[in-house]
Amino acid sequence: MNELASTGKVKVGFIGLGVMGKSMARNLMKAGYDLYVYSRTKSKSEDLLQEGAIWKEGAADVARHADVTITMVEYPSDVENIFLGPSGIVAAAKPGSYLIDMTTSSPALAARIYEESRKKGLQSLDAPVSGGDIGARDGKLSIMVGGDEEAFEAVLPVFQAMGTNIVYQGAAGAGQHTKMCNQIAIAANMMGVSEALVYAERSGLNPARVLKSIETGAAGSWSLSNLAPRIIQGNYEPGFYVKHMIKDLGIALQSAEAMGLEAYGLSLAKTLYEKLAAAGEESSGTQALVKIYR
Amino acid sequence: MNELASTGKVKVGFIGLGVMGKSMARNLMKAGYDLYVYSRTKSKSEDLLQEGAIWKEGAADVARHADVTITMVEYPSDVENIFLGPSGIVAAAKPGSYLIDMTTSSPALAARIYEESRKKGLQSLDAPVSGGDIGARDGKLSIMVGGDEEAFEAVLPVFQAMGTNIVYQGAAGAGQHTKMCNQIAIAANMMGVSEALVYAERSGLNPARVLKSIETGAAGSWSLSNLAPRIIQGNYEPGFYVKHMIKDLGIALQSAEAMGLEAYGLSLAKTLYEKLAAAGEESSGTQALVKIYR
């Protein structure tokens, strides 16, 4: 870990201890890092504190002490506030330290944070993930990284404590752009999976038997194999929340529009997910999209 | 093969020797069936005839001689004409024989053919396939079957000469309905794959590197792993023709409408594929959908 390693034991700060964040933070402790934590709701940190994490009163206080500060929060507005707000971590961070946003957030914001960080002599990376709660727990996330390649290499061991498929994607924002590609592919496919299942129901087929015919061929997908069975069982528990999908698709659509890309499927999927949320399903799993068609 | 087996060596008729049909017919001969063939273009049968297949002058003449007559043609209008036309196989078929349409065609037409066949004491099955030219060649097709279950069981050995994932889906038309589920899932996903790739290009990412981040996770699909690399290489050769996708989506949309299902993604995909065909890409592979976005 180059420079970082030569400074002795590396201190990692972690801001945002939701389902994903807490598992990621725990894996960092397991890998031997000193861990400083802060989360909006302190109660979420209790087990981590018992396991040895150190609580700090606010994001800025975490960044003041850490060599590497990681954020895993909810919305781009949270990211903007934590990084660039009046008590933000860019202003407070330990000189020469690394700031890594792992929230799925706006590529444009990632680029702004990178610029502001650089002015302060800080390194910033955008590094959103995929793999869900199970990937986070097992340290098997896919991590998509944007920023300076040297910074990426310096903090690679930190990423390796949380993920297995860790890919440097390019300049600041490239991690977020890659995650948008991921969400675009997922959302359009979820329409197809939903429509195929409702078509099967309406035409009197046995949907589980239909899956047996189609899931191993050209229609096959992670969602068809993993979410379609949940739909068939009537299980709409969130693996990934509808409200977060709407957030992500909103970012993707905004970015696509800025690039002059008319993303018809993305746009349609966003509309349908918004309709679903308006019907009270915003905290259901994304597979609840099927309800739009019933 | 119950009754069929007791009549001595089983004669199979095969009508339609395109890329798929010829490979399927060849596998039937390899499995030991006597094979009678007819195709609109006789030259397509030449190698099969050298290998031992027997040419018949017309579909009706095939059905007159065969215990099991299989059709693998292009459009529902072809299917209708071959089965129910003035020189159709329902009128001509050997009493007690089996008629199997493996074309991807209309579920409603499959039900009509079933009724007309029954009036003549014939068994009919709809049994469309997926798996493409390679699946057909290797005898590894997925075969989705509708009709009477007894008829399905009687001809199962015939299916087993052509496919590996052979599933009885229900009454007449159920095979076609299942194939529609397959095409619906594929078409919506192809929008997602295309939009994700063009998003990657426009945002300055390396699309192949993006695939490395996203293809093994929740965005993963057969199309992302098999067609996205072709797109990246600029290869738009047909694995599956745009014009055939349009045919299939048209059937699916008509069926969906008849069931009162508003299939937004399917409808959008069909519109985009039609736009693509109008731009001269009807004989490209379905992955050419990406060109709509560029």
Chain A positions in Cβ-Cβ contact with residue B256 (cut-off 8 Å) = 195, 199, 202
Question: Closest Cα to residue B77, out of B48, B50, B98, B101?
Answer: B101
Residue B173 has pLDDT above 80, yes or no: yes
Residue B41 has pLDDT above 70, yes or no: yes
Q: Which 3 state secondary structure label does DSSP give A81? A: helix
From residue B227, how far is each of A264, B73, B200, B236 by CA, in Å?
Answer: 19, 25, 15, 9
Q: Closest chain A residue to B127 measured between Cα atoms?
A: A213
Q: How confident is the model at residue B1 (pLDDT cuts 50, 70, 90)?
A: very low
Query: Which strand (E) or helix (H) includes residue A167?
Result: strand A163-170
Q: Which residue has the higher pLDDT, A1 or A189?
A: A189
Per-residue buried b or exposed e for A72-108, using 16+ beta carbons within 10 Å of the residue's own CB? bbbbbebbbebbbbeebbbebbbeebbbbbbbbbbbb
pLDDT in tens, A109-125: 999 999 999 999 999 99
Residue B276 CA to residue B270 CA, distance in Å, equals: 10
Do A221 and B189 form a contact (C-beta atoms < 8 A)?
yes
Interface test with A, best of B102, B181, B227 (most A CBs within 10 A): B181
Chain A to chain B, count of Cβ pairs less than 8 Å apart?
Answer: 269
Find all residues with CB under 8 Å of B5, minimum gap 6, and list them. Answer: none
Are A142 and B252 an interchain contact pair (Cβ–Cβ within 8 Å)? no
Size of chain A in residues: 294
Among B11, B22, B56, B179, the active-site one is B179
Do B259 and A196 form a contact (C-beta atoms < 8 A)?
no
Query: Which strand (E) or helix (H) includes residue B272?
Result: helix B264-276
As given in the structure block, the two tokens for residue B141 are 């097709």
Are B188 and A188 an interchain contact pair (Cβ–Cβ within 8 Å)? yes
Strands (E), chain B: 11-15, 34-38, 54-55, 68-71, 98-101, 123-126, 129-130, 141-146, 163-170
Size of chain B in residues: 294
Are A218 and B132 an interchain contact pair (Cβ–Cβ within 8 Å)? yes
| Among the partner residues B212, B216, B293, nearest to A262 by beta-carbon distance | B293
pLDDT of residue B9: 86
Are A217 and B178 an interchain contact pair (Cβ–Cβ within 8 Å)? no
* DSSP code for A97: -
pLDDT of residue B214: 98
Q: How far is B29 from chain A (nearest CA, A)?
A: 25
Q: How confident is the model at residue A1 (pLDDT cuts 50, 70, 90)?
A: very low
Q: Is B94 a catalytic residue?
A: no
Q: What pTM was computed for the model?
A: 0.96
Question: Closest Cα to residue A197, out of A56, A96, A294, A284?
Answer: A294
- Within 13 Å of residue B285, how many CA atoms lie on the same side as its CB? 18
Mean of all residue pLDDT scores within chain A: 96
